[in-house]
């Protein structure tokens, strides 16, 4: 098992949400396990493996337990992987989970959320626990069994926590810097 005690997950910097309200945010998902899937619509590995896996995760768990969130983190071919193209892509692939457009970087091709999570590329799969901490992050093609085990461990953890504990960002294993 590779679930780690991670840092507080950075807020997502998103210019536009599909399949969600404009004020959709990580903070609103506190109390639920979050499966974050960063992709690019023209990335073959994303289309062949990453997105089908995100759809399987969405089908396998109830939305009360786990929320699937997509992030369109474009770091190449910016002109053609724009918001309109993504809208057509989401329509054609019948994706129903929330998908955000990662905000372009300043003076660099890497968009901001991708940078703040130190992602190595696309597809990247990330698990965030009920207290908003990054607990698992994989670039490439994670195994369904290992991903499932990481999800199962996070779902099994106690959801409730005192206000103070939550504020302090502590678990039995240690404390993380508060947001």
Interface ranges with a second copy (CB under 8 A): 1, 3, 42-44, 47-48, 56-57, 60-61, 65, 77, 79-82, 84-85, 88-89, 92-93, 143-157
Tell me whether residue 25 or residue 65 sits nearer to a second copy (CB atom): 65
Tell me whether residue 81 or residue 176 sits nearer to a second copy (CB atom): 81
Report yes or no: 33 and 67 within 8 Å, Cβ to Cβ: yes
In the complex, least distance from residue 80 CB atom to a second copy, rounded to whole angstroms: 4
**How many other C-beta atoms are found inside a 10 Å radius of the C-beta of residue 70?**
26
In the complex, least distance from residue 147 CB atom to a second copy, rounded to whole angstroms: 6
Token pair of 17 as six digits: 């949400």
Query: How many residues comprise the chain?
Result: 179
In the complex, least distance from residue 75 CB atom to a second copy, rounded to whole angstroms: 12
In the complex, least distance from residue 27 CB atom to a second copy, rounded to whole angstroms: 25
Tell me whether residue 44 or residue 174 sits nearer to a second copy (CB atom): 44
In the complex, least distance from residue 89 CB atom to a second copy, rounded to whole angstroms: 6
How distant, in Å, are the alpha carbons of 61, 110, 150 from that of 157?
Answer: 15, 34, 11
Tell me whether residue 57 or residue 114 sits nearer to a second copy (CB atom): 57
Residue 91: exposure state from Cβ atoms within 10 A (0-12, 13-18, ≥19): exposed
Three-state secondary-structure class, residue 48:
helix
Strands 174-175 and 98-102: unpaired
Token pair of 130 as six digits: 């009920």
Token pair of 16 as six digits: 């536009």
Tell me whether residue 25 or residue 87 sits nearer to a second copy (CB atom): 87
């Amino acid at each position: 098992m590779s679930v780690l005690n991670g840092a507080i997950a950075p807020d997502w910097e998103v210019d536009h949400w599909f399949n969600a309200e404009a004020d959709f945010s990580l903070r609103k998902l506190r109390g639920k396990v979050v499966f974050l899937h960063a992709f690019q619509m023209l990335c073959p590995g994303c289309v062949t493996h990453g997105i089908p896996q995100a759809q399987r995760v969405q089908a396998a768990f109830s939305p009360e337990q786990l929320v699937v969130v997509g992030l369109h983190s474009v770091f190449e071919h910016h002109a053609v992987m724009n918001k309109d193209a993504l809208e057509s892509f989401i329509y054609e692939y019948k994706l129903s989970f929330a998908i955000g457009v990662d905000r372009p970087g300043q003076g660099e091709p890497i968009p901001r959320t991708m940078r703040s999570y130190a992602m190595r590329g696309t597809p990247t799969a990330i698990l965030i626990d009920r207290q908003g901490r990054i607990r698992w992050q994989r670039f490439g093609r994670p195994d369904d069994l290992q991903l499932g085990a990481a999800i199962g461990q996070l779902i099994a953890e106690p959801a409730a926590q005192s206000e103070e504990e939550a504020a302090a960002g502590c678990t039995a294993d240690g404390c993380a810097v508060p947001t």
